Homo-oligomer: A and B are copies of this chain.
Amino acid sequence: MGVRGGIDLGGTKIQAVVVGDDNDVRGQARLPTPKDGGPDGVIAAMASAVRTAAQEAKVETSALDGVGIGSPGEVNPDAGTVTNAYNVVPDWNRTIEVGGILAQDLGTRIGLGNDVRVATTAEFELGAGKPYRSILGVFWGTGVGGGIILDGRPWRGRGAAGEIGHMVVRRNGARCTCGRDGCMEAYSGRRAMELEARRRMKHGEKTHLFKIMERKNRTALTSGVWAEALEHHDDLATDLIDRAVAALGAGIASAVNLLDVEAVVIGGGLGTRLGKPYVARIEKEMGPHLFVDARPPAVHVAELGDLGGAIGASLLVRAE
């Protein structure tokens, strides 16, 4: 009894899990996010991923207590809709009734939440944030997202709190993929880093990043590509990651100066892939910018790793 589903919807992959009452993973499935079927194709892939995970858990999807979804874009949990999830597929430029469609397809109720917030709650309840009452979750991947838990409760603001990636770390600085200048994400987001790598390569800098990408049969610089380039001491990759780490240090320290949380939990594709040594470097870069430097926050790698988002999403449909 009490088996739930969870989906972490991303621009690269769709991760589904089926978990038991103790949030133990009983089944899981991972599919690449289909890029040519529009939002409909994505929703079909989400259903398919849940079915595979449910099969592994030996349960019908209609027997699940529900399926929670952590989604990018503008999420309306009450309406069950997701609007403008450009990161998932570029033509997701309208409001899609994700909840309604999947409820019918899977025969169970659907819960919706913001992807980063859901992952932060998962780390707070089940992962690296467990010992604390207030944490800042930082998800370092294609972009840089943030989730805030204050005194045990998520802080949502007017619905859009946590945009740590768009805190300014350098006025009049690098152009961000969001169109603004000097955002932390302009230095640290994987998409911005790839654009910068391409620019520099065009200007004659040498790098193996794109050769590794091709060999791995990827169409973008994934976290795995960056990790491999770093292992081989690729100069350009090393330089861009150093820049990203420094920007993360300044931006996260700024957030800590404002909020004075007990702990920072760093996850996301790059955060999880590069792991402890790089999170330790981010922590070191935070140091010089912390106002109360005698009492820094604890800094941890996200513990739930790749499945954190999907497990967190499953918490959305937990019985009260």
Q: Which residues of A contact B (CB under 8 A)?
A: 134, 146, 148, 150, 155-164, 166-171, 173, 178, 180-183, 246-247, 250-251, 253-255, 257-262, 288-289, 291-292, 295
Q: Please state if A253 and B168 are interface contacts (CB–CB under 8 Å).
A: yes
With beta carbons under 8 angstroms apart, the residue of B160, B163, B181, B259 that contacts A155 is: B259
Nearest chain B residue, comparing its CB with the CB of A288: B180
Q: Is the CB of B166 within 8 A of A246?
A: no
Chain B residues within an 8 Å CB radius of A155: 150, 259
- Copies of this chain, whole number: 2
- A246-B164 in contact given A134-B157, A156-B260, A260-B157 (Cβ < 8 Å): no
Out of B169, B178, B182, B259, name the residue touching A157 (CB < 8 Å): B259
Least CB distance from A165 to B in Å reads 8
For A262, give its contact among B158, B167, B171, B262 (CB under 8 Å). Answer: B158
Question: For residue A285, which residue of chain B has the nearest CB?
Answer: B171
With A and B bound together, what is the CA distance between A42 and B180 in angstroms? 47
Most buried by B among A156, A166, A261: A166
Chain B residues near A162: list those with CB within 8 A: 258, 260
> With a CB–CB cut-off of 8 A, which chain B residues contact A262?
158
Closest to A253 in B: B168
For A247, list chain B residues within 8 Å (CB).
171
Determine how close the nearest CB of chain B comes to the CB of A281; give it in whole angstroms.
Answer: 15
| B164–A258 CB distance below 8 A | yes
Q: Contact check, B258 vs A160: say whether CB atoms are below 8 A apart.
A: no
A253 to chain B, nearest CB (A): 7
A257–B292 Cα distance when bound, in Å, is: 22
- Complex Cα distance, B159 from A259, in Å, reads 10
Query: Could you pull out 11 A-B pairs where Cβ atoms are within 8 angstroms?
Result: A150-B155, A161-B259, A163-B291, A168-B169, A168-B253, A171-B246, A171-B247, A180-B291, A182-B289, A255-B258, A258-B259
Shortest A47–chain B CB gap in Å is 31
| Residues in B whose Cβ lies below 8 Å from that of A164 | 257-258
The reply to whether A258 and B163 form a contact with Cβ atoms under 8 Å apart is yes
In the assembled complex, the Cα of A251 lies from the Cα of B169 at a distance in Å of 9
Residues of B near A178 (CB, < 8 A) are 291
Check A166 against B261 for contact (C-beta < 8 Å): no
B289 touches A146 (CB 8 A): no
Residues of B within 8 A of A288 (CB): 180-181
Which of B146, B157, B170, B291 is A170 in contact with, Cβ under 8 Å? B170
Given contacts A158-B262, A178-B291, A181-B288, contact A257 B171 (CB under 8 A): no
Complex contact B168–A254 (CB within 8 A): yes
Query: Is B291 in contact with A251, judged by CB distance below 8 angstroms?
Result: no
**CB of A237, distance to nearest CB on chain B (Å):** 20
Most buried by B among A150, A159, A167, A262: A167
- Say whether B148 contacts A258, CB under 8 Å: yes
